[in-house]
Amino acid sequence: MISLTALVLTYNEQENIRRNLEALVWVPKVIIVDSFSNDQTLEIAQSFPNVQVVQRVFDTYANQRNAGLDRIDTEWVLTLDADYLLTAELQEEIKKLEPTSDLTVYWGEFDYCIFGRPLRASIYPPRVALFRTKRARYIDEGHSEQLRVKGKLAKLKGKIWHDDRKPLSRWFQSQDRYSEIEARYLLGAKGEELNRADRIRKKWLIVAPIGMPIYLLLVRGLIFDGWNGWYYAFQRTVAEMMLSLRLLEAKLRG
């Protein structure tokens, strides 16, 4: 198996962290960078013998992840959020990897779950999950972060599950914060710096909230996932509405 450490960010993730770590018991070391959780996150995490917890005051996601990277001495790092879960198929795939010397990055796709049930589709983008530790750093972009890395890429066949079980109230709090950061990013970026979806959000700020439920339920077929599909479609519509309100507020304030 490749020389590997897993890196996980946490803040009050007691609803998610156990399932996350149970899927990582085969990894020799898991480093958690925690933003001073005040629930049962640390108690749960420290019950796993392969886990090392580091606490750091949160400033940005990129800085949190880079702080974790600085503590890793293995050749490869697997970076996850606390609400990510490696499927059994993906676990076995990673164990059997034999990368060539010029291969730097593995990226993977997600199955988005609502209360443990995978949806047939989502708008959650693929992401780099596994890479050579010393060849990459994170930078902030919008409310999240992007990895800057050079080298050959390969795709993982197995899926990562995004399965967040935190209360809906936490989701609203997070979206409020994300929308503020994202609006600031969109307003400060030039058109050519944005992808197509973000250009639409910035210029036609009414379109995304109206189009999102139609796109998810009818185009992507989430109407056939029952109430789980409706739940996700409603979530994404509310998130787009919050971002549009932030952009509209900035427009009206001049």
Tell me the per-residue pLDDT of 150-181, one tens digit each, with 9 for 90 and over: 889 999 999 999 999 999 999 999 999 999 99
What's the whole-model pTM score? 0.90
| Cβ atoms of 7 and 77 closer than 8 Å | yes
Among the residues of the chain, which ranges form H helices? 17-22, 41-45, 61-69, 88-95, 168-188, 196-203, 207-214, 226-253
Torsion of CA 164, 169, 174, 175, to 10 degrees: 100
Is pLDDT of 85 > 70?
A: yes
The predicted pLDDT at position 254 comes to 78
